[in-house]
Amino acid sequence: MAMALLGVLTILAVLAILAPAPQTAGAARGNTGDGAAPALALTALLAFVTMCIGAYVSSSYAGLACLTFPSCDGSLLGHNAAQLVQMLHRIAAGSFALIALIATWTSLSVSSPRVRTFAILGCALVFVQIVLGFANVAWQLPLALREAHAANAQLTFLMFVIAAVLAALEPVRATEPLPERAAATAQRIATNP
């Protein structure tokens, strides 16, 4: 619930800072964007699901249920409940990593520089997350690595949330003339100290 709240607050913060002003009657409408927003939103959603499964792995003390890679003692889903939840986390993480790569690749070719920046940062953090996950199992869950794994997961999630919101906003913001956009941003800042 805390991560869902943080995600919603992040979306609201980005919207409050960057949301476009209401369009004038003559402004262009109907720009559907570049297609990166849905892929980035799916990536953020998969990050959230993977974190939820990971939180359950941690709270159920299943972090060391599977000490082998890629399978768990020769089984895809393990032999007991703890191994099953550990393997589900690994499968979700692998799926998330694949979708993150695809979404980042999509954003590289079609999105604005700031969308690309957040997507690339998120994708880089995915690789850090994988290394931290392997290190946690290999070194028997030392406290510093567990906390780093959890913190990096949260940061990765937020990078993709921000990238998705920015990608969704870019088509709308692009329809505003630059002077009106600057004036609208200045007015929002002045009225919301």
> Which tens digit of pLDDT belongs to each residue from 61-86?
888 888 888 888 888 888 899 999 99
Provide the percentage of residues in the chain whose pLDDT is more than 90: 51
| pLDDT single digits (tens) 140-182 | 899 999 999 999 999 999 999 999 999 988 765 544 455 565 5
19 pLDDT band, cuts 50/70/90, is: low
Number of domains in the chain: 1
More confident residue, 121 or 187: 121
Q: What is the pLDDT of residue 130?
A: 94
Is 39 inside any structural domain?
A: yes
Is 19 inside any structural domain?
A: no
Say whether pLDDT at 21 is over 80.
Answer: no
Q: What is the mean pLDDT of the chain?
A: 84
Closest CA to 127 of 150, 156, 103, 147: 156
Q: Is the peptide bond before 70 cis (omega within 30 degrees of 0)?
A: yes
Axis-axis angle for helices 81-110, 36-59 (nearest 10) = 160
Is 186 inside any structural domain?
A: no
- Phi-psi map region of 63: left, alpha, beta (phi>0 left; psi -120 to 50 alpha): alpha
Say whether pLDDT at 111 is over 50.
Answer: yes
Is 132 inside any structural domain?
A: yes
Is 10 inside any structural domain?
A: no
* Domain enclosing residue 125, as ranges: 34-181
DSSP string, 86-140: HHHHHHHHHHHHHHHHHHHHHHHHHS-HHHHHHHHHHHHHHHHHHHHHHHHHHTT
Sequence letter at residue 187: Q
Q: What is the pLDDT of residue 25?
A: 39
Q: What is the pLDDT of residue 180?
A: 60
Is 114 inside any structural domain?
A: yes
- Kindly compute the dihedral angle of the four CA atoms of residues 79, 95, 120, 33, in this order, to the nearest 10 degrees: -150
Is 17 inside any structural domain?
A: no
Say whether pLDDT at 48 is over 90.
Answer: yes
Closest CA to 107 of 165, 11, 37: 37
Query: How many CB atoms sit inside 10 A of residue 20's CB?
Result: 19
Q: What is the pLDDT of residue 99?
A: 96
Say whether pLDDT at 23 is over 50.
Answer: no
The CA distance from 63 to 87, in Å, is: 10
More confident residue, 22 or 160: 160
Location of structure tokens 């913001």: 173
6 pLDDT band, cuts 50/70/90, is: confident
Is 191 inside any structural domain?
A: no
